[in-house]
Amino acid sequence: MKKLRNILNQLNIDDRLREYAEDFKLTCRMIKDYVKRDYKAVSFSAKVIIIFTIIYVLCPFDIIPGFIPILGQLDDISIVILALKTLKSEIEMYRLWLETKELRDK
């Protein structure tokens, strides 16, 4: 178990998972602000990626069926991570917008 923990530490898995979780939360918040029309700077390609990802994750037909333990959820997680990596610049723009909004609101 100690060897596995050392390997995970070397690969910075914990840091990456935290980063993906933070990016996921920000993306959800960005969608919410976009729907409320508070944030309007979402590109067309970002909208397409977000809609595709939501449809894929919610769709019962996956590349790997969901009833297969662990592997069934792995393709959904992979699609979400791929979307987050693709949307990284959009997420960063949104993060900056939030920071400036908080400064403006003070």
Separation of alpha carbons 38 and 55, rounded Å: 24
Structural tokens at position 61: 């037909």
- Provide the sign of the torsion angle of the four alpha carbons 64, 54, 88, 69, taken in this order: negative
List, for residues 1-57, the tens digit of each pLDDT value. 677 666 656 666 677 888 999 999 999 999 999 999 999 999 999 999 999 999 988
Number of domains making up the chain: 1
Separation of alpha carbons 60 and 65, rounded Å: 8
**Cβ–Cβ < 8 Å for 30, 88:** no
Q: What is the extent of the structural domain holding 20? A: 2-105
DSSP structure class, residue 77: H
List, for residues 47-106, the tens digit of each pLDDT value. 999 999 999 888 877 777 767 777 777 888 889 999 999 999 999 999 999 998 877 776
**Cβ–Cβ < 8 Å for 28, 94:** no
